Structure 1
């Protein structure tokens, strides 16, 4: 199909799809994204027993999936700045659905590692474009809140994955998680073809992508121009630290809690509460932005999450751990949801997906490093307290980075 006929098709789709429906479709993809990203952590304790392999060996499996996320976020996602949000979202959804479904047929750790990497590429390609498309169909006054609400689908998907895993793994086996996590995105992909429009901002600001790879590289360079350099570095530091902590906790907490003596179902539900807390925290923070500066709220929430991590590390009862995990997620995951919306306002349309994509990509470096660090610590005999407590340090660094970004934006605004 040539460029003109593609544009006409996209125009017809856009004419019958309003901003609320666009955000809903993006939220649905984000939900499936969260489900598939978290799925491997929920089945890891079961697979370790079934395949008779050490739990620490799943550190490489976690890292492989997250490395795929990094590749997709850095190199697939930003390509949409030149070819459009719609085709990249649809293609990415079909890719992660197909490889997630194939994961149900894995029978060894090497196969699992390869399939999680390929699934991750699709997951990573979708993420920044969901954020950018929702931002660009929203009004300036509601943009940050719409992105926060839309991307709440991601932690909600991880919660749904926890509920499904706890309820169905014992009855139908671990494969059922991937049957659902792969089959549903393939079905949703058909809906996206029919209903998801292209971004109006993209159509108005971008010429035909005759030299898309070259232009994409120039967009990355622009992130480090005089205007955006300090903003980019602080955003990247916050994303790296935040996603390192979130994914280390979600990857290893089910296994650590099981080793602490909890049942698999209780360990899964407790871990799911981290993301459920994130949905609650994101909604609360998005409302609070009507009265308070978003970056100030994010810094304060990160600081509160540090306290939550300490309680999770030192708590003994299941009830206390569940409450503390929920509140940690409200501060940590909720802040990250709002941060996604804030970042879209820091950069112009021409480099928005590149900016969000590379911020998420650098964050994904943290998601790869965190589970590997956790696996190393576990193999060295670290106990539950130390395995959780060390994550308070990068959470504190994220709070400092966002507070510095708030001060930088205040000085920049004052200078103008």
Structure 2
């Protein structure tokens, strides 16, 4: 005879909230972390091999522009298309496909014999990379308890800067021994191995399965890996802090009147963050050199800027306990101040080095926290689309950032003035997040998933 509790619907988010973070959830976290780590490695790989291409193929630096930018356009295209697909087909399916695509394309890139072939394959690699990251963020977020969601999602996202940095060290060691093609071979083989591992171990998001009314047996089988207490559950429901809307697609949710203002503000904040990042990462060595630094010192000081992304874990902890919009808005406001101060410190090498590192640490931390914020903002039916469109539209901010400084230097603007202008997007990003908070008031623990509305799964 069944007990009463076995006939009561089991709320999947309450289940995740009331059980410790299990080994199975750590496995999911680890797989998604590896996806983002390899995403960072493969995104940065072209920059590490570019000098070797110039030397071996005898091409001019301007001729490399299409190769260097192809992946950026692929990243945007992959992100914009993958979210709607994941909200329709599932996070697991699209994530597996994206890892296979960027692994296979990167591996094939190691066998090209022309810039045209490499450009095409870098674009395809970018499509896979752009699709992988938002789905890794979404899947991780949907297996987290509310109280740790931002911290764990941010920790997973730290794989990207670590992968990019680790790739630099590996490339410096591998290229002299085996040539530039070896970097692309490694960047292809490892994702393909990870694809095989994920094929047999990575589950679908249980929140997505409940939202889509998938069979109870499949949902129960996954949750039983977290805790055996779910073994007798006969049905499942999903509570959403964010109410569902009458939309036929993920993009319909993101652009619905209920979510439109928040979506636009997230896009604006992520766009402006990447304006700052790419403006500085691409131009600081040149600006410092023109301000009187030796080329070697200019490069070393500039290299400090992208090192601080691991601070996103601390921001995640704050986001789980305080208002996440205001925490990240403060981060962008401090970024603007720090970038402005960099422009005032030329000639004082000690303070300049410190401020470049501080600016990078705060900027990368704030930027790396936005995917977790977006994942918490949308309901399950539009979460993958919401995260991926923010990332995809933000990519164009990277392109804009590079052109911004080029225009400022063309107009003979001085060193301090350039940094003052580049600081402005930080203030715009902060303002955008405060507008989002005004339009969609949030308090701690209403940003992740417990709360307002419940829907039942089809128990077939």
By the TM > 0.5 criterion, same fold?
Answer: yes
Query: TM-score by structure 1 length?
Result: 0.82
**Alpha-carbon offset, residue 164 of structure 1:** 2.2
Note the C-alpha offset of 1:230: 0.9
Change (3 A) 1:118 1:257: farther
Is 1:286 aligned to 2:316, yes or no? yes
Q: Which residue of 1 aligns with 2:191?
A: 185
1:113 deviates by 2.3
Q: Is the 8 A contact 1:155 1:278 kept in 2?
A: yes
Bigger mean CA deviation after superposition, 17-26 or 129-138: 17-26
Normalized per residue, the structure richer in helix is: 1
Matches within 5 A, 1:174-323: 174-206=180-212, 218-251=249-282, 261-263=294-296, 267=299, 273-279=304-310, 281-313=311-343, 315=346, 322-323=353-354
Residue-by-residue CA offset, 1:120-149 (whole Å, 9 max, x unaligned): 000011111111101111111111111111
Instruction: Name the counterpart of 1:24.
Output: 30
Secondary structure at 2:425's aligned position in 1? Answer: helix
Matches within 5 A, 1:9-408: 18-48=24-54, 50-206=56-212, 218-251=249-282, 261-263=294-296, 267=299, 273-279=304-310, 281-313=311-343, 315=346, 322-373=353-404, 390-408=421-439
1:8-28 deviation line (CA, Å, top 9, x unaligned)? xxxxxxxx9711111111011
> Given the superposition, is the C-alpha separation of residues 23 and 319 from structure 1 closer, same or farther in structure 2, using an over 3 Å criterion?
farther
Residues 50 and 328 of structure 1: is their aligned pair in 2 closer, same or farther, counting only changes over 3 Å? farther
Gaps of 5+ in 2: 1-21, 215-245, 447-451, 453-460
Change (3 A) 1:147 1:411: closer
Larger Rg: 2
Encode CA deviations 1:351-375: one digit per residue, 9 max, x unaligned. Answer: 1001111111111222333345556
Could you tell me how far apart the structure 2 residues matched to 1:105 and 1:352 are?
38
Runs of 5+ in structure 1 lacking a partner?
A: 1-15, 209-214
Give the whole-Å Cα distance in 1 for the aligned partners of 2:304 and 2:141.
27
- Distance of aligned partners of 1:92 and 1:360 in 2 relative to their CA distance in 1, 3 Å threshold: same
Q: CA RMSD in A?
A: 3.3
Q: Would the aligned equivalents of 2:150 and 2:320 in 1 still touch at CA under 8 Å?
A: no
Structure 2 counterpart SS, 1:240: helix
Contact 1:156 1:275 in 2 (8 A): no
Instruction: Please give the secondary structure, in 1, of the residue aligned with 2:147.
Output: coil
Change (3 A) 1:304 1:44: farther
For residue 175 of structure 1, report the CA deviation from its aligned partner.
3.0
Verify the 8 A CA contact 1:64 1:368 in the aligned structure 2.
no
Question: How many residues in Structure 1 have an aligned counterpart in Structure 2?
Answer: 390
